[in-house]
Structure 1
């Protein structure tokens, strides 16, 4: 069995494992709809020009996508690694030809499909329920897939360093929630203190949101953001694969 066959076998197993978890399936695809209903339909821009939500509706599109690109792989991969550790699955996997890189690649592909479908639902609901004006750019696909790979790698690292599934969820929320609002998603940089500029540039999600906004809303340059995001995906994927335990 070659590398492709091993990765495919793990992909199929991971996919069926997700499908059997009906609650996870429901909330993975229902959450984007709920998000749009709350932020896109109920929270409108302030006519007085004050507050946080003063940008045009399409400005927040990268933020909506960032929620699924950030939280889904971060929590799912991290929890899977922690669950495998608790069940001594990695000790069993160590007796098979499947490498850590192949294991993480298979789970990254599963998450990329899930995030891609959730993002498509999100875009459709946003188009139907709001007056946001944006372009259905083909560049969305590489940004979503590569962004998912970044946070799958980080999720694998969290799964290794956290001592339990609860610890993974707590660590993921601690990382994801501040990043979600600081990475040029829902809060424009002009509303943040000037000293936070360098911090924003250190966040992986920043390059996702900048690139998506350039590709779908502003029409600005996106290549540099995609290049940085790709480099981060390679780094975090390799570190995440290395962090996976060979034995428990």
Structure 2
């Protein structure tokens, strides 16, 4: 069996496992749409300008998409790694031809597929609500690569956690601050001047800025995309090395 066959088999098994968990399916696909209904549908642009949600809905497209590309891979991959650790499954997998990077690649592909479907649902919901933004090919590129990036981060958190509950807690502890401190829902001008340079330390910032330039503001997105690609490769490689594949 080739590496492609092994990755494909693990992909199918992981996808079926996810589809059997109805609660996970519901929150993966419907929670982001519910978020849009609350913020984009109920909260209107402030006529006086300034403050939160003071710009047109199209400006916040990266923020809504960030909910999917951030929370889904962090929580799903992190908890999956922790589940394998608790059940000693990595020790069993270590006796098979499946390699660490193949397992992680299969998990990543499953999550990328789920995130793409959820992102399409988000985009459709935003268009139905009247948001004005461009459907740029860069949108798909950023969603896919950033999903890979945070799958790597999720795997790292799962490797460090001592349980599935711990992995989920760590994922939320990372995701919530990043969601609001990455040029997404909160404009940089609303932060203190000393804090604004720290926004550049968040990988999600480059996703948000790239998507916003591609779909709303205009301008070159190549720089942001290169940063996201480099970080995706780096985190995937680090996550592969950190997987507790075999017993000490």
TM-score interval, smaller chain? over 0.9
Q: What residue in structure 1 maps to residue 85 of structure 2?
A: 85
Alignment match, 1:110 = 110
Counterpart position of 2:157: 158
1:48 maps to 48
Deviation at 1:195, TM superposition (A): 1.4
**Where in structure 2 are the equivalents of 1:64-213 lying within 5 Å?**
64-129=64-129, 131-213=130-212
Cα offset, 1:22, TM superposition: 1.1
Unaligned runs of 5+ in 1: none
- Residues 12-27 of structure 1 correspond to what in structure 2 (within 5 A)? 12-27=12-27
Q: CA deviation at 1:132?
A: 1.6
Query: Structure 1 length as normaliser, TM-score?
Result: 0.97
Stretch of structure 1 that moved more, 75-84 or 131-140: 131-140
2: CA distance, partners of 1:85 / 1:21: 20
Q: Give aligned pairs, total.
A: 247
2:51–2:190: 8 Å Cα contact kept in structure 1?
A: no
Classify the secondary structure of the residue corresponding to 1:194: coil
Partner secondary structure for residue 52 of structure 2: coil
Distance in 2, matches of 1:25 and 1:135, equals: 28
Q: Equivalents in 2 of 1:50, 1:224: separation in Å?
A: 28
Deviations 1:18-46 (A, max 9, x none): 01111111111111210110110011122
Aligned-CA RMSD value: 0.9
Identify the residue that residue 6 of structure 1 maps to in structure 2: 6
Q: Distance in 1 between matches of 2:215 and 2:177?
A: 24
TM-score norm. by structure 2 comes to: 0.97
* Moved beyond 6 Å, runs of 4+: none
| Structure 1 counterpart of 2:30 | 30
Shift of the alpha carbon at 1:49? 2.2
Alpha-carbon offset, residue 51 of structure 1:
2.6
Q: Please report how far the alpha carbon of residue 197 of structure 1 lies from its aligned counterpart in structure 2 after TM superposition.
A: 2.2
Deviation for aligned residue 1:50: 4.0
